[in-house]
Chains A and B, each alone.
Chain A
Amino acid sequence: MKIKWALLTIVFTVITVLTGCEPLMVLDPKGPQAETQANDIMLSIGIMSFIVIVVFALLAFVLIKYRASKQSKDYEPPHMEGNVIVEAICVGIPVLIVAFLSFVSVQSNYKVEATPKGYEDKEPLVIYASSSNWKWHFSYPEEGIETVNYLNIPTDRPLEFKLYSYGPITSFWIPQLGGQKYAMSDMVNTLHLGADVPGEFMGRNANFSGKGFAENTFDVEAMPEAEFDEWVEEVKETAEPVTEEKFDELLEPGHLGRMTFTGTHLEFNPPPTGHNHGSSDSDEHSEDEHTEHQESSDSDEKETEHNNH
């Protein structure tokens, strides 16, 4: 038995050492949404560790105390049916813990489904992020530019990603800025993010989408607003326009490097018309809701316009 316990100890030591390594991406947030999530994660790890320790301690106690080898031969374990008070405690404490976590969970749900906290008074930057096998296309309709497989964003400004897919379900994920959301072909999802500090982050599709899934990543660079504007200007001066023909070529299955265009594919290849009504319910601020509806009706108009052509 001693060898086995020694092995177990080694396992736990290795795990503890691993935790000590450089911060894990999700627990090293660079934006308000990711921070909310990281706080929830740390809080729940704390509470859950307490439960784990209690269960381990109880198990160790009964195993040490009530082993047959530690008892007299004629000891007969008693017949016990159960006890209302003991069982009420076993129900009551978990109920309290779950109630508390539910409270936190619901609160965070409304936080991550709205404009990031502290960013409410700033105008959001809307970016359409669409996936095709196995690439990401980022369209900046206000700026009139489009990129493939890389994403430049300003810091200290709310970001509103409109997600959809040309193909299988994918999931848009930048761990250090916030959790993921699905991009699907028959509806547009909205993901609210924000970056507090400049830096380079990993972004990827997290939802399995076939052969090229593993390499379905993109680079994210957050920069101060002035620098971002400079970049937009530069793109407008230097990049080629994205044409319908060119875009269809881009949609072909395969992998591409970083690409930059002026104009967006939204003009000739609009996003799906299905809207996610769920997420607009979640907006606490009626003002935001108002703008969001306005935006969506704007894009509806655009779409009908193009359909007419």
Chain B
Amino acid sequence: MDYFDRFAIPHPSPVIYASMVAIGITVLAIIAGLTYFKKWGYLWREWLTTVDHKRIGIMYLISALLMLFRGGVDAIMLRAQLSVPENKLLDAQHYNEIFSTHGVVMILFMAMPFIIALMNFVVPLQIGARDVAFPRLNALSFWLFFMGAMLFNISFVVGGSPDAGWTSYFPLAGNEFSESVGTNYYMIAIQIAGIGTLMTGINFMTTILRMRAPGMTLMKMPMFTWSSLITNLIIVFAFPVLTVTLAMGTMDRLFGTNFFTTDNGGMDMLWANLFWVWGHPEVYILILPAFGIYSEVISTFARRNLYGYKSMVASMVAISFLSFLVWAHHFFTMGQGALTNSIFSITTMAIAVPTGVKIFNWLLTLWKGKIVITTPMLYSLLFIPLFTLGGVTGVMLGMSAADYQYHNTMFLVAHFHMVIIPGVIFAMLAGLTYYWPKMFGFMLNERIGKWAAWLIAIGTLVAFMPMFFSGLDGQARRMYTYSESTGFGIYNMISFIGALVLAVGFVLIVYNIYYSTRYASRDISSDPWDARSLEWATHTPVPEYNFAILPQVNSTEALWDAKKKGHVLFKGEYEKIHMPNNSGVPFIMGCIFFAWGFSFVFGMWIPLILTTIGIFACMALRSFEKDHGRYISVEEIEETETKLRGAN
């Protein structure tokens, strides 16, 4: 029996048993449904084995939305617990687990796949390519991310969730103070997903640098592609740090090393430093693609070219450089002394300059434009004021002496939610609504979409503005309860109401997807927003080869030039197109990685060795496999093109 004890939940509660049942029923329902509708073959052929960047993008998107709701439910529970003083809804242990998983899920398993979803779908179309540089690697990236996310999510029903915060500072996260397997899940699940992300970084850098359409020089790339290039550059530099840090943490927990322990020469400060050397660039990995989306959306709906293209690019390069020089601002209070703090204080505030340049450039793009407020545009317009509020409080936090008072308080929590929600989430929702017709061939309802946007914006303000005040009033973050005499009650009650408004907004988005799927017109053009860049130059739905003839590019807005200035995008005849073959190996390798991670979490060494061999076997198989892809014949292209042209 002892052996099986480790799989039990250390702190069970009715809610967890209910979720176990719910998970079981859902899995059974999915299996039954697939069997009843005879969809297993379809699922395997069209999705599990696909290497098409568009389908991989959609799978990333679905995962991100699922994780958004997992993280959102966590958030509601946290706010509900704090809504009144001395609340007994959750105990300390549950609260700690929930805020830890909320952070990890939202950053690594929601925001990351969301940006990667849009990158996957949009970047190859935007640069006029037929797929990414390494399609099969792309599939492997997705399956590693997905299996990492799943492994992390089963932690709350098998063995217990991590409870040391999303930052997982040692020695708290060490064996001495975190005895359950929760932190093992943290180390291994993020490791697996992180390897996937690192491969995405390499893949997209190669794609953008090597596969652009003829005529598209670097300075003629659309802004979202530029932001993706810079983002993937940061990924390639930052993620290896995470890999190494997590490996060290894993060894401390499972193999008795002493990197971060309190004795035998270990150093707890080392974890904090290494974590944030990755963690701060990570923030910019999230925000830069978001900036790219805003640039596309604002210029489309202001009916103008993006103002200050060169300074936009320069500011992103500056941000990417500075992002590696500010990590110590996450712990000004560690006692580095005035000199070190001063240096990091200045570099931190310096980031406000390139960010400010971007805000002003968007405002100048709106200037003299012809602004049409659609749902994606509404998100972008709400982003500017809300993000400004979040951004300026970031400058305040950058003043290190004052940070001694903000650090670890709700003020900080308010700040990063006020930048991440308007910055990243609004952008992803804008991008989702904007690219939805290209992905699925119909538009989301504008009326419901705008209601959702307003509710989410108002919910954000109501939920997070009070935290600035409660932070300055001495409420530390991560407290599971507080006494009535502190006076924090009113702020937290308002926050809870804001969280509920946010929840209604997100539910409306789901309802919109349902409603539009049922009722929206399928008869839309391939360019429904009257947009400016190449992704709108191909058909809807996009054929698997993207472009029958590779487009010719002469400016940053090739499609606009084709529409307004008579530029000819597609010259020449159809030729046969070389495409990659589907492969089941990435999915199988993902499954093996899942088993590998699970064995690792519980220290089951024999399965661990077997799965490790399995992973290497898959890699060896790939090395010796002869797969030259396949060709789509000219007749087939002609047939598809005629059919799609008819559909428009």
Contacts and interface: CB of A to CB of B under 8 A. Distances in A.
A26 interface: yes
Per DSSP, chain A at the interface is: helix
Given A37-B402, A278-B335, A98 B350 contact: yes
Interface in B277-307: 302-305, 307
A126 interface: no
Contact of B309 (A19, A77, A81): A81
Given A101-B399, A213-B92, A90 B361 contact: yes
B645 interface: no
Interface in B314-369: 331, 333-342, 345-346, 349-350, 352-353, 356-357, 359-361, 363-364, 366-369
Interface stretch (A146-154, A177-185, A227-235, A299-307): A177-185
Given A4-B458, A109-B400, A181-B404, A75 B370 contact: yes
Contact of B172 (A95, A109, A209, A277): A209
A44 B333 contact: no
Contacts of A209: 172
Nearest to A95: B353
B404 A68 contact: no
Interface in B478-517: 478-482, 486-487, 490-491, 494
Max chain B C-beta neighbours (<10 A), residue from A97, A190, A207: A207
Given A26-B473, A78-B368, A185-B171, A276 B458 contact: no
A243 interface: no
Interface stretch (A56-64, A115-123, A136-144, A244-252): A56-64
A62 B408 contact: no
Nearest to B345: A105
A76 B304 CA distance: 9
A250 B303 CA distance: 69
Contacts of B399: 40, 44, 101, 104-105, 108
A24 B395 contact: no
B55 to A, nearest CB: 36
Contacts of A67: 371, 373
B310 interface: yes
Contacts of B359: 55
Contacts of B310: 82
Greatest chain A CB density within 10 A among B267, B335, B396, B409 is at B335
B336 to A, nearest CB: 5
Given A77-B368, A210-B172, A211-B92, A279 B477 contact: no
Interface string A22-56: 10111100000010111011001100100110011
B58 interface: no
B476 A206 contact: yes
B483 to A, nearest CB: 9
Given A37-B405, A66-B370, A91-B353, A208 B308 contact: no
Interface stretch (B382-390, B440-448, B541-549): B382-390
Contacts of A81: 305, 308-309
Interface string A152-168: 00000000000000011
B158 interface: no
A179 B401 CA distance: 8
A7 interface: yes
Interface stretch (A10-18, A257-265, A286-294): A10-18
B228 to A, nearest CB: 22
B171 A187 contact: no
Given A181-B335, A206-B408, A279-B337, A186 B267 contact: yes
A48 B395 contact: yes
Contact of A11 (B169, B337, B408, B462): B462
B401 A62 contact: no
B405 A26 contact: yes
A110 B338 contact: yes
A13 B545 CA distance: 54
B202 interface: no
B302 A63 contact: no
A282 interface: yes
A24 B458 contact: no
A18 B171 contact: no
A233 B292 CA distance: 67
Interface string B382-426: 001100110011011011111111011100000000000000000
Contacts of A129: none
B472 interface: yes
A82 B401 contact: no
A175 interface: yes
Contact of A55 (B363, B371, B395): B363
A: contact size bracket: 35 or more
Interface residues of B, number: 100
Contacts of B164: 208, 210
A80 interface: yes
Contact of A214 (B177, B262, B407, B482): B482
A111 interface: yes
A239 interface: no
B227 interface: no
A158 to B, nearest CB: 17
B392 A51 contact: yes
Contact of A37 (B303, B369, B401): B401
Contact of A56 (B338, B341, B366, B385): B385
A112 interface: yes
B454 A4 contact: yes
Give the residue among B308, B462, B491 with the most A Cβ atoms within 10 A: B308
A171 interface: yes
A131 interface: no
Nearest to A25: B474
Contacts of A238: none
A66 B372 contact: no
Contact of B384 (A25, A59, A71, A87): A59
Contacts of B307: 80, 82
A135 interface: no
Contact of A18 (B311, B371, B466): B466
Contacts of A25: 472-474
A181 B458 CA distance: 35
A64 to B, nearest CB: 10
Contacts of B486: 202
Contacts of A184: 268-269, 334
Nearest to B476: A206
Contacts of B478: 208, 213
B268 A171 contact: no
A162 to B, nearest CB: 11
B472 A278 contact: no
Nearest to A86: B364
Nearest to A45: B396
Interface string A172-208: 0101001111101111011000000000001011111
A77 B304 contact: yes
A210 B346 CA distance: 33
Contacts of B352: 94, 97-98
Interface of B: 92-93, 96, 163-165, 169, 171-172, 176-177, 262, 266-269, 272, 302-305, 307-311, 331, 333-342, 345-346, 349-350, 352-353, 356-357, 359-361, 363-364, 366-373, 381, 384-385, 388-389, 392-393, 395-396, 398-405, 407-409, 454, 458, 461-462, 465-466, 469, 472-474, 476-482, 486-487, 490-491, 494
30 contacts: A15-B465, A19-B469, A22-B487, A24-B469, A26-B474, A27-B472, A41-B396, A55-B384, A55-B388, A82-B307, A82-B309, A87-B311, A90-B311, A90-B356, A91-B357, A98-B350, A101-B398, A102-B346, A109-B338, A109-B400, A171-B407, A184-B268, A190-B335, A204-B476, A206-B407, A211-B96, A213-B478, A278-B338, A279-B335, A281-B338
Given A8-B458, A80-B368, A87-B357, 19 more contacts: A44-B396, A48-B395, A62-B363, A66-B368, A77-B302, A77-B303, A77-B370, A81-B309, A82-B311, A87-B311, A87-B361, A98-B349, A98-B353, A109-B342, A109-B400, A184-B268, A206-B409, A213-B92, A279-B337
5 A-B pairs with the lowest CB-CB distances in the bound complex, closest first: A179-B404, A278-B337, A282-B338, A108-B401, A48-B392
